[in-house]
Structure formats: structure tokens, C-alpha cells
A and B are shown apart, each in its own frame.
Chain A
Amino acid sequence: MLQVSCGGCALLLGPSVRSSQLCYVGRGWRTASTACKHARDTGSLPWEGVVGLEVHAQINSASKLFSSSQVKFAAPPNSTVSFFDASLPGTLPTLNKRCIEAAVMTGLALNCAINKKSLFDRKHYFYADLPAGYQITQQRLPIAVNGLLTYRYPTGKKWSDMVTKCVRIKQIQLEQDSGKSLHDDFMRQTLIDLNRAEGQLRVDANISVHHPGEPYGVRTEVKNINSARFLARAIDYEIKRQTDILNNGGIVQNETRAFDYKLGATIPMRDKEGKQDYRFMPEPNLPPLILYDSKTLPRNIDAGQVINIDLIKEMLPELPNITRERLVEEYGILPEHSFVLVNEDGLKEYFEAVVKMTTADPKKIIGWVIKNLLGYLRQENLTIKQSLITPSALAELVTLLENKVISSSAAQQVFQELCKGGNKTPTLIVKEKKLGLLDSEQLEGICQKIVDEHDEEVAAIRKGNLKVMNKLIGLVQKASKGRTDPALAKTILEKKLQL
């Protein structure tokens, strides 16, 4: 979940083993076993990457974690800074209730054990954007520990090739963010903005390689990765780099590295050389944070001063994996479709709204929502909310199709018309454009004409080649400009050919 934010960060750590999805792992030792002694000594065991992620996520709160100044994206420099944020002497931290609740909720969502007593610590380092010289965090006893996140991801090109994996969550902690530094190399100076609100997700990855079953190898830390794609590339690169070093008899250095997305490589970070010693110490200005549940809730206490874990549990929204399961079960859609519905913000709600407004089978609606609607939105670079096609319009269109008022090709034409905007309902479009299906009387004439003009095909059908019938139906469809019910056309043609 997601530097430089509101001064309120939920942070979680999850060590996981990446192996199967990384082709380098195997390839690394194979090339090396012919080339170097080290690889032969260690046998033909493949190297396996071990990855731990430190994920910094900004909490969506009005004010900062430890001060009452505003959290605002792209605010003018230093405009949302309180005396505490500027580390003026004599100022003290006051913990934000919303941030505690967000951390607890995150912990619950990730199946963590919530610590009813957690502590705050000071982590010291010198940097111009950290005027106090320390950051308040939770190192010894964080707010939540020992979580588990189960996820599925595709292994092949096909959506249906999915594997289920688990990632363990070591801890979730509340952490104050530093300010933002802008480096001016030309003037040899650093500009400091203490607002702390960037609103982004930032990940540090700890990576090492080892032979399965053996102790973990020396790890490196790749800092400040800001996208999932770069994270994957940084991890893949680092596993390959370390594997190559080890295969060549080298030693992996315990160091901090940065990912250079232009090079597609990790490089040592110059400005944080040597061993980091953060000199952790208990934060003397904040007593332990005590959380309650409905059983332990003290009486006669100001409601603003207590956090009830049970109440937060009740407020927890339906979690994505539950939503996906429910969608598959309730609507009979494919699991891969449930991923698309959940991953696209607002698409699930859109789909469910359409389902409620029509009697058509949800399995038929899903295609319209995922293929047609999402395709159109992607092409026009629009969000679900910006869609010109309302759920009710799509529901009406699907109903027209379901009731055989229009053919599926006519439905596509109506959809294209809806994409152009305007207030016309599908029914009105069908009426104006005369897209409604032809009745048997109208179809009769067209079928007769097709039969008359295609002697060869008619002869072939009469000889028993019934596949040719589809060609005739296609011709009828074309002649009627897509307003033919294929089943009806087939019945009429069969009658005419006296089959």
C-alpha cells in the first residue's frame, strides 16, 4: 500500500520467496556450472531468490500523523507545515485517530494479529528533509504483526492459468514521513519542502539469493521504487546480478542500491554509504498506544480517546478475494472476469447495476461490460464514472437483444451509437435507425430474393450440403442490414427449399 506523504504511513513488510516465476534462477547456475568452480562445489542446486518488501502507503487522512496540519497533494511548498512538522523546540507529537484506525483496518484486512499495546520509537539519521534528526516509527512493537495475504496471478498468457500464492506480512507500523528534497545540482543546493504529501506508493525491496534449505544469503536493499513494474524489474535484475556474482565465486555486499529505470539496472547508492546505524530508541514523548475491543472497552471514557478493534472490524468493506468469489458464485461468471470487475475502479458496481435492471443472463451481460464497455472506455481514455453509456442504457440494450427485438449485430450498432453520447435511449435509436428485427413477412421477401439469385448454393443444399445454408443466412443478414433473426431466416429458407 504506499515517499514523502502526509507524515502518516502504514508500512508493511512481507518476506516472500520468488522462484518459479523467475527464469533467471535456473539459468543462472546452468551457465555457471560449466564455467566456474564455485557452482560445481555447491552441486547443481539452483539459486533461489528471497524477497522482502517494505511498502510505504500514505494514509488517506485530513491531517498528519503527529500534527494537525493538512495533508494536501501538490500544496504550495511549506504551506501545510505546523511548528511540530518544522521540528521547532518544545513541540510535541499528537497521534491522529484516523491514522490509528486506518492501520488497524489494514492489519485486519491482511489477516494480522492486532497488538493491543504498541510502542513508538525514534529512528535517527541526518538528512536535510528530516529537521528533527529522527523519524517516529514503530520498530519494537508495531500495531499489527504476522499477517497473510493470499493472491492469485496468471502464469501463462491465458487468464485461466492462475496459481494461488501466499505472502506473509511481518508487520504493519505507523511511521512519520520525512519532507521532500529537490536537488539542484547546478546551484549545488537542496530545496526542502516539509509538506510531506506526495500521495504515492513507495516500495523498498530486500533481495538475497540462496540454495533452498540453506541459510539466507547476504541481502541488498533496493530503495525508492515507485511502480509495480519497476519493482518486478528491480527484483529480477538483482536476483540475476547476485546469482552471477556467486556463480563467479564472488561475495554479495550488504548495501543499499537504487533502481535506474533507464538502465533497467540497480546501482549502488552513493549518498548512503557504509553501515546504517539508526540508533533506535523509545520515543519518550508518546506513551504506549493501547487498543481495545468490545470486551475490554473501559467505561466512562471519552469516545474520542478509544479505539475499538471490533468496531473497525464491522466497518471493514468486503475484501477483494471475497468479492471475486461472490461474483463468480452469484452470477456464474468466469473467475478471470471477476478479476477485471474488481480491478477496474467502479466496474463491479456498474456490472451489478446492469444486472439488477434486466432479466438477461449475467453471463451475457459480462461480455458487454468487459469487452464492449471497457474496450470503448480504454479507447477513449475514460474512467467508468466518465462513461457516456449509463448502466440503465446498457441494461435496456441487453434487454432488447434478450427479447429478440434486435439482432446481435444491430445491438453492436446501437452500442456504437450510444458511445457517441446524446440522450437517446437504445429503444429510440432502434426506432430511428430502423434496426429492429424484421418479422417473418418482411423476411419472406428477402429470403425469396436470395434463393432466386443463388442457384448454385440452392443446388448444393438440395444435394445435402447443409453447410451452405449458413452462407444463405449470412446473405439474408447482409441484405437486411443486420436485422435478421438467424433462426427465423433458417426456418423460412428451409421451407422455401422444401427440406
Chain B
Amino acid sequence: MWVQKTIAKCWRTAGFTRFLSSQSKVPQNPTWRIEPETEAQDSHVTPELIDHLERLALVDFRNQEGVQRLQSAVNFANQLHHVNTDGIEPLDSVLEDRALYIRGDEVTSGNCSEILLQKAKSVVEDYFVAPPGNIPLPQKENEYLSTKGEDI
């Protein structure tokens, strides 16, 4: 118990963190600079796009503030386009040089429907119960958006 506490204390002390950073291969400071945001970078989030994204992700941006947050997130992510990746193979995963583990075709799991069904809120005869299948979302008036059709 006391060991854990000590370690936690160490972590919290700035000196220890700095010690770790100096050992790290991650540069202390960025080696390239983000261009200041320009007008051109500004992506246009249209009400149609908001609607599309809300449907895809089944989220609700709720209000003007939420939409602005989305806008700035998009702008932030768009900066990645400034990184020169010419001639560089995309990296899917840092594990991509590892061999993919191949499993023999043997049955070693399953038969645990009781445990799984316990986690469900609603169950009927060993089936999970879900709301009826994809119902098109009603075309709602996004009252938090400024005039429909206009960019934000």
C-alpha cells in the first residue's frame, strides 16, 4: 500500500516527470510549427453536413456552441494536411511489422449466454432486446443553427 503511495507521490513531483521526459525519445519541443489559422483553412460546416454527421454518429450537437466546437475541431484536424507525407507509406498501426497471430480452428469459448444476458437491460427468451430497427431520424429543424442553408 505504502509503496503505491510513494510511487504516486513521485509521479506527481515535477522533477520526476522531467527526469522521464529527458529519457524519452519524444522530442521535448515540437520540431515543426503549426501554421497560424487562416481564412482559407476554415472549413465550412453546413447545416446539411451537421445533419449528416448527427445521423452517422447518432449524436446531437445540441446548440450553436456545440457546432462551433465541431468547427474548431475540424479546423484543428485540418492542420494535419500541412504535414508533408510525400513518398511515405501510411502507418496503420505501430504493430504492423509484427506477425499476425493465427488461431487454430478449435472451439474454446461460448456457452456463456447467461453471463452475457445478465448485462442486458432487457431480455426476451435468451434474446437481447433492442429498439425497432433503423428508423429514419425525423428531419428536425435545427433551431440552434442560423438561417438554414447558410454556412456557419
Report A's interface with B, CB cutoff 8 A.
61-63, 67-70, 76-84, 86, 94-100, 119, 126-129, 181-183, 185, 188-194, 270-275, 277, 279, 282, 284, 286-290, 304-307
Contacts and interface: CB of A to CB of B under 8 A. Distances in A.
B129 A192 contact: yes
B111 to A, nearest CB: 6
B116 A78 contact: yes
Contact of B113 (A70, A77, A126, A127): A77
B111 A189 contact: no
A79 B106 contact: no
Contacts, number: 148
Contact of A304 (B102, B109, B110, B129): B102
Given A126-B58, A304-B102, A282 B116 contact: no
Contact of A189 (B96, B105, B125, B130): B130
6 contacts: A69-B107, A129-B130, A270-B136, A277-B56, A284-B95, A305-B102
Nearest to B124: A191
A189 B136 contact: no
Given A95-B101, A97-B104, A288-B96, A78 B134 contact: no
A177 to B, nearest CB: 15
B126 interface: yes
Interface residues of B, number: 40
Given A191-B128, A274-B55, A288-B100, A128 B133 contact: yes
Contacts of B133: 127-128, 181, 183, 190, 271
B126 A307 contact: no
Interface string B28-72: 000000000000000000000000100110100000000000000
A83 B112 contact: yes
Given A277-B56, A286-B100, A305-B102, 11 more contacts: A62-B105, A68-B106, A69-B107, A96-B105, A188-B131, A188-B132, A190-B133, A271-B135, A271-B136, A284-B92, A288-B100
A189 B100 contact: no
B103 interface: yes
B93 interface: yes
Going nearest first, the 5 A-B pairs with the smallest beta carbon separation are A128-B130, A69-B110, A98-B105, A191-B127, A282-B92
Nearest to A97: B102
A271 to B, nearest CB: 4
A275 B136 CA distance: 12
Interface string B88-101: 00001101111111
A94 B105 CA distance: 11
A69 B131 contact: no
A273 to B, nearest CB: 5
B8 to A, nearest CB: 24
A97 B103 contact: yes
A97 B128 CA distance: 30
A188 B124 CA distance: 13
- Max chain A CB contacts within 10 Å: which of B52, B92, B103? B103
